[in-house]
Structures are given as structure tokens and as C-alpha cells.
Amino acid sequence: MLVRDFMTKNVITAQVEEKVSNAITKMKENNIKHLPIIDKDKIFGIISIKEIEEYSPSKATSLDIFELHYLLSKITLKEIARRDVITITPDIPIEEAGAIMYKNRIGSLPVLENDKLVGIISDRDIFKLLISITAAQSKGVRIYTQISDAAGTIAEIVNIISKFDTKVHAIFTCYEKAPAGKRNVVIRTTDIANINGLEKELKEKYDSVLIQKF
């Protein structure tokens, strides 16, 4: 899964000489939080709703940020745009884009190809993908346990679960807070009639088994 498959391709942008009030209007109308700033067909910077809030007097008033646009009607984006823009290319893995955003504490990444803006990927896109690949919105059963960090252990637990006439929606694992030599695993499946039987068999082999039905 690459960035090009999940990025927004029709990017809403603004020109450097546009007023901040115009940028606020664009962001409100298009329900976006990040706006790339363009100068002569190349990316000049980026601005976010949070940065506009910090720049504006909104913290000292009860007015909404979008209601303050008239106070910013004389300021250009060139004056307040963040210039140190981190960009990526469309062919990097989507998880790498997420790692870059997390590491740099930013909410979006403009996507450039041959120095041309071809898309933008945001934390919202990453969250949407996470929900999809973990089958978080699918009804069924969620199985959590810790398994040995050895070859074949995922296939082993899937074989046990498969005996209970169910279909696997998603499998995801991580080492975060897992004991040495083990890893956490979560498996989401379709409904299981004999949950008690599955739980009994898993607990005979694994520790920290938790089964939830959704």
C-alpha cells in the first residue's frame, strides 16, 4: 500500500499573496485543516488551522476562528506560512508516511512528484486506513493474546481459530509492551458460535487471552 493509493489528489491550495481570511474560508468550505501555499506553481509553505489560531487573537475571545476572518483580511499567507515543509513522494509506503508524521508531530504531508504538488496525505487518511486494515468497523469477534516470537506461530493460532467455523477479517501484531520473546496479536473474525470452546482451547496454549464479541 503506497501513499499514491490513499492521498487526496485534488488538493485545495492557496497562493502566497492571498489573504489569511481567504485561506480560512477555503478551509471551512472544504472541511480541511491543512492548506499548502503555492508560489509560481511550486510549494512555498503550508498553513494549518491550529497555526492560524495561534497567530490570531482567538485565544483572547469567545469568537470561533472562522468568525475572526475579518481581523485577518489584511495579512497575506506569505507572512505566516510555515516554510519548513516536510514533503514525500507518492511511491513511499503508507506506513512510512504515518511514521514521518508521528516523528515530526505534524498532521499532513504534501506529496510531490518532479517538484509538482500531486497530492496530500493527512493523519485522517492514516486513521481511516487503520480502521480499514484492522476491520474495526466489522461485526464479529476480537481475539487478543500474546504469542511466541518464532516462525510459524501466527499460522498456528489461526489454525486453532479456523476450527471454529469462522473467517478471519484481520490480523495485526506488535511488540509494544510485550514480554521478551513474545508479541501481541489481535485477530478479528466473523461471528463464532462456540466462543467458550475457542476461549478454553486458546487458554490451554496461550497467556492473557481476551475474546470480545462486537
| Nearest Cα residue to 172 out of 162, 158, 160 | 158
Boundaries of every domain in the chain: 3-130, 136-213
Residue matched to cell numbers 516536510 = 86
Tell me, what's the pLDDT at 171? 96
Tell me, what's the pLDDT at 157? 96
Phi, psi angle pair for 70, to nearest 5°: -65, -25
Question: 3-130 — its CATH code?
Answer: 3.10.580.10
The residues, any chain, with a CB within 8 Å of residue 194's CB and separated by 6 or more, are 164
Superfamily of chain region 136-213: ACT domain (3.30.70.260)
Please compute, for residue 169, the number of CA atoms within 13 A of its CA located in the half-sphere on the CB side. Answer: 20
State yes or no: pLDDT of 62 exceeds 90. no
Tell me, what's the pLDDT at 69? 54
| Nearest Cα residue to 45 out of 56, 36, 55, 34 | 36
What are the tens digits of pLDDT across the range 132-162?
999 988 899 999 999 999 999 999 999 999 9
| Nearest Cα residue to 76 out of 60, 55, 54, 59 | 55
DSSP state of 184: E
Distance CA 129, CA 110 (A): 18
Take residue 119 and report the three cell numbers written for it: 497530492
Mean pLDDT of all residues belonging to the chain: 90
178 burial class (0-12, 13-18, 19+ CB within 10 angstroms)? middle
Mean predicted confidence (pLDDT) in 11-36: 92
Q: How confident is the model at residue 199 (pLDDT cuts 50, 70, 90)?
A: very high
Tell me, what's the pLDDT at 52? 80
Distance CA 40, CA 205 (A): 63
State yes or no: pLDDT of 50 exceeds 70. yes
Fold match between domain 3-130 and domain 136-213? no
State yes or no: pLDDT of 73 exceeds 80. no
189 burial class (0-12, 13-18, 19+ CB within 10 angstroms)? buried
